Amino acid sequence: MERTFVAIKPDGIQRGLVGEVISRLERRGLKLVAIRLMIVDEGLARRHYAEHVERPFFPSLVDFITSGPIVAMIWESDNAVALARQTIGATNPAEATPGTIRADLGIDTGRNIVHGSDSPESAEREIGLFFEPGHALDYVRSNDPWLRES
Ligand code: DAT
Ligand code: MG
C-alpha cells in the first residue's frame, strides 16, 4: 500500500468543491486515512513548494496557497501517488484531460484546485510537512474486497 498527499487549495474551498474533490478520490477507490482543515503559513508554503523557489510564479504561488484555508489529506491505495495524479489531471486545467478534476472544474494554472504529490518520495516529504507522525489511521474498509481482487 502506498500513501499520497493531496490538498484542496484555497480556490477549491472558496468555490465549494471540497465534497466534489473528496468524492472523486473516494469513488476512484482511494482510501482517506487523514484529513485536516488548516491555514498554511508562509514558512510552510515555502517549504512545501521549495522545488519552485526560483520560478517566476513562486511569490504568487505562496500568496495563493496562504490566502485561505486548505484541506490537507492523506490517501492510500496501491499506486496511490500515480492514481491520485491521474484523477487530478495535468497542472494546466486548460490542457488537462476531460474527466480529471482540473479539466472538469478549472481553467487556470494558478487556480487549479488541488495539489497531489508527484512521487512516493515527495509524498513522504509532504506528509511529514502537514501531519504529525502516526496521524494517519489504519482501518479496514468493508468494501475493499469489492474494489481489489486480493
Ligand atoms: P503540479 O501541481 O501539477 O505538481 P507543479 O509542481 O509544476 O505542478 O507546480 C506547482 C503549482 O505551481 C501548480 O499546481 C500551479 C503553480 N504553477 C506551476 N506552473 C505554473 C506557471 N507556469 N504559472 C503559474 N503557476 C504555475
Ligand atoms: Mg508538483
Q: Whose CA is nearest to atom 14 of ligand 1?
A: 91
Cβ–ligand 1 distance for 110 under 6 Å, the answer yes
1-33: pLDDT as tens digits: 999 999 999 999 999 999 999 999 999 999 999
Between strands 2-8 and 70-77, the pairing is antiparallel
State in Å: Cα 91 to ligand 1 middle. 6
Q: CA angle 117-100-148, nearest 5°?
A: 75
Closest listed residue to residue 130, CA positions, set 16, 26, 43? 43
Q: Judge whether 135 counts as a catalytic residue.
A: no
Question: 150: pLDDT confidence band, cut at 50, 70 and 90?
Answer: confident
State in Å: Cα 109 to ligand 1 middle. 6
Distance, in Å, from the CA atom of 146 to the CA atom of 139, rounded to the nearest integer, reads 16
Beta strand ranges found along the chain (DSSP E): 2-8, 31-38, 70-77, 114-116
Q: Whose CA is nearest to atom 5 of ligand 1?
A: 91
Mutate to test the pocket of ligand 1, among 21, 61, 67, 70 (most ligand atoms within 8 A of CB): 61
Distance, in Å, from the CA atom of 106 to the CA atom of 140, rounded to the nearest integer, reads 34
**Grid cell at residue 22:** 473528496
Question: 47: pLDDT confidence band, cut at 50, 70 and 90?
Answer: very high
Closest listed residue to residue 83, CA positions, set 13, 145, 27, 146? 27
Virtual CA dihedral for 8, 139, 132, 76, nearest 10 degrees? Answer: -40
pLDDT at 125: 98
3-state secondary structure of 110: coil
